[in-house]
């Protein structure tokens, strides 16, 4: 049951405008005697003008019609086509109904005022597979006609092809384009950042915030007329959401949404922030590895220095040498004790020598393995400090924990 018909004399008639075409008013064909010479543009069968109980004009096939794709169209389908046509006309574009193209037929074809741009709006109320819609979308785009599929139901292909879902008002009227609301298929990027862009949200790890924004529904919903005008004006465009960090409300990894440029820019901002965060984390990992390597090197140095240091202290202090654990109070150096009195410290860490530690080191012997270490310690402790350098062989890796020199007797 189409909205357009072929008139033998007047050409194509469009039931959604007045006059219907070439100066033919509705009254001239509706219940006219003799009946108007009308045929279907799709199948060529006879048509007659009809009025729905709610006052919507359309054409119905005469009895015994052949199989025609326009026969099955429901009232809801016709109403939606009418709404789309009037929204297009309100936006200042031309709207033609049921237009045949190269391998496709558009429900409503919008043409820009200067005739250079075309776009199809399809009322797709019946079930259809995603693959079929993708194929039809590609076929129309190949003719330079982008398309938006419009449904009034939850459909799995919303987001898979350029599409919107509308919600009709409870009492749809003939001129109700603006009353229908777009409830799905449109999206805005909702930015969310941690305070001062320092992340407090990403597992509590400190560092630059990668952003916690997402593609959400448009609230409150826009009217169908507003959306159609925005799309035709080029303000609202399709955007393929970048999968990964920017999570969406649509149950697809990378849905196609209708949105405006500022939201695409906001998504870009989050993707860039995510990149910066990854770089930061990589750097922090490298830093941590360097730190661990420095600790391991220090441990290996201390282990290598322990035997000669213990031997020297044993000789000078004439007593049993106790090797204790490296501790902050010895600037992470290994202290050597004789009769409970500290005698020396093996390889303390220069940066850990506080004024308090410095006081504690006074009069003790410090043991180092390299000239660099000796000079750094001398600078930190002053020329009075006794520093002994042993040129020991330092292994690449420290011995595993557990093998320690608790007693001087085990050194030799
Ligand atoms: Zn037909
Ligand atoms: Zn954050």
Strand partners, 46: 39
Give 70 Cα–ligand 1 centroid separation in angstroms: 5
Give 107 Cα–ligand 1 centroid separation in angstroms: 14
Q: Which ligand is nearest to the CA of 195?
A: 2
Q: Which ligand is nearest to the CA of 44?
A: 1
Give 12 Cα–ligand 1 centroid separation in angstroms: 14
Q: H/E element holding 226?
A: helix 224-232
The residues placing their C-beta within 5 Å of ligand 2, an ion, are 194, 199, 201, 209
Give 211 Cα–ligand 2 centroid separation in angstroms: 5
* Cβ-contact 86, 177 below 8 angstroms: yes
Give 65 Cα–ligand 1 centroid separation in angstroms: 7
Packing angle, helices 224-232 and 75-90, rounded to 10:
50
Q: Which ligand is nearest to the CA of 5?
A: 1
Give 280 Cα–ligand 2 centroid separation in angstroms: 13
Q: Where are the beta strands (DSSP E) in 291-407?
A: 321-323, 334-338, 341-346, 365-368, 386-389
Q: What is the pLDDT along the chain (412 residues), one digit of tens a residue?
A: 689 999 999 999 999 888 888 788 999 999 988 999 999 998 899 999 999 887 888 999 998 878 887 777 788 888 899 999 999 999 999 999 999 888 899 999 999 999 999 999 999 988 899 999 999 999 999 999 999 999 999 999 999 999 999 998 876 555 456 679 999 999 999 999 998 888 875 565 788 999 999 999 999 999 999 999 999 999 999 999 988 766 777 778 889 999 999 999 999 999 999 999 999 989 988 988 998 998 898 999 999 999 999 999 999 999 999 999 999 999 999 999 999 999 999 999 999 999 999 999 999 999 999 999 999 999 999 989 999 999 998 887 777 665 454 444 444 3
Give 61 Cα–ligand 1 centroid separation in angstroms: 6
Give 288 Cα–ligand 2 centroid separation in angstroms: 22
Q: Which ligand is nearest to the CA of 45?
A: 1
Give 271 Cα–ligand 2 centroid separation in angstroms: 13
Q: Which ligand is nearest to the CA of 70?
A: 1
Domain boundaries, the chain: 1-73, 93-254, 296-410
Give 85 Cα–ligand 1 centroid separation in angstroms: 20
User: Could you give the count of Cα atoms lying within 13 Å of 295 in the half-sphere of its Cβ?
Assistant: 8
Give 175 Cα–ligand 1 centroid separation in angstroms: 25
Give 206 Cα–ligand 2 centroid separation in angstroms: 9
3-state secondary structure of 153: coil
Tokens of 55: 């006052």
* Cβ-contact 300, 373 below 8 angstroms: no
**Burial degree of 66 (CB within 10 A; 0-12, 13-18, 19+):** exposed
Give 72 Cα–ligand 1 centroid separation in angstroms: 10
């Amino acid at each position: 049951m189409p909205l357009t018909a072929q008139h033998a004399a007047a050409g194509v008639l469009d039931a959604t405008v007045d006059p219907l075409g070439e100066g033919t008013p509705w009254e001239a064909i509706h219940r006219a005697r003799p009946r108007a010479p009308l045929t279907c543009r799709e199948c060529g069968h006879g048509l007659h003008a009809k009025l729905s109980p709610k006052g919507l004009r359309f054409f119905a096939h005469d009895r015994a019609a052949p199989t025609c794709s326009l026969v099955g169209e429901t009232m809801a389908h016709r109403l939606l086509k009418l709404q789309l046509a009037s929204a297009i006309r309100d936006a200042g574009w031309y709207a033609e109904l049921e237009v045949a193209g190269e391998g496709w037929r558009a429900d409503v074809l919008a043409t820009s005022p200067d005739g250079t741009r075309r776009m199809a709006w399809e009322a797709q109320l019946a079930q259809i597979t995603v693959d079929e819609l993708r194929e039809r979308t590609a076929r129309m785009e190949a003719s330079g006609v982008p398309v938006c599929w419009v449904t009034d139901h939850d459909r799995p292909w919303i987001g898979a092809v350029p599409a919107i879902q509308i919600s009709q008002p409870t009492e749809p009227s003939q001129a109700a384009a603006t009353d229908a609301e777009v409830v799905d298929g449109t999206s805005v990027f909702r930015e969310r950042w941690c305070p001062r862009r320092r992340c407090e949200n990403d597992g509590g790890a400190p560092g630059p915030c990668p952003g916690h924004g997402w593609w959400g529904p448009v609230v409150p919903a826009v009217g169908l007329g507003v959306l159609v005008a925005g799309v035709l004006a080029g303000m609202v465009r399709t955007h393929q959401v970048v999968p990964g960090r920017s999570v969406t409300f649509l149950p697809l990894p990378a849905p196609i949404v209708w949105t405006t440029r500022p939201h695409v820019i906001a998504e870009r901002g989050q993707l860039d922030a995510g990149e910066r965060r990854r770089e930061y984390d990589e750097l922090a990992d490298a830093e941590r590895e360097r730190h661990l390597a420095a600790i391991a090197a220090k441990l290996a140095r201390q282990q290598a220095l322990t035997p000669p240091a213990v031997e020297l202290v044993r000789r000078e202090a004439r007593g049993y040498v106790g090797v204790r654990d490296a501790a902050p109070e010895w600037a992470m150096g290994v202290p050597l004790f004789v009769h409970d009195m500290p005698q020396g410290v093996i390889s303390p860490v220069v940066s850990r020598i506080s004024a308090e530690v410095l006081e504690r080191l006074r009069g003790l012997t410090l043991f180092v393995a390299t000239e660099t270490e000796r000079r750094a310690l001398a600078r930190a402790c002053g020329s009075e400090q006794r520093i002994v350098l042993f040129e020991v062989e330092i292994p690449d890796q420290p011995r595993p924990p557990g093998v320690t020199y608790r007693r001087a007797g085990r050194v030799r």
